[in-house]
Amino acid sequence: MFRSLFSQSSQNKQRVTVQQWHPQELQQRLAEGDTTLELIDVRTPGEYQYDGHIAGSRLLPLSSLMQRIG
């Protein structure tokens, strides 16, 4: 399953919501041009570069992500 992370600030606090989709659901949303979707790839830079990635995805390695969301 794929996950997406969305952050919102509310009264100087960050809230993170995680949503999960089956690959077919994600593929459909991407094909429809869903502009509300932000896909974050949490693999290492090497995996992102050499193993391929979904066009438009944003690289944010898991270790960096964990530091950002505290």
DSSP SS3 for 68: helix
- Alpha-carbon distance of 42 to 27, in angstroms, equals 18
- Alpha-carbon distance of 41 to 26, in angstroms, equals 14
User: What predicted TM-score, i.e. pTM, was given to this entire model?
Assistant: 0.60
Tell me the two tokens of residue 52: 């391929």
How many structural domains does the chain have? 1
> What's the first-to-final CA gap in the chain, in angstroms?
24
Tens of pLDDT along the chain (70 residues)? 455 554 444 455 666 677 788 889 988 998 999 888 888 888 999 999 999 898 888 999 988 877 877 6
What's the domain range around 60? 2-69
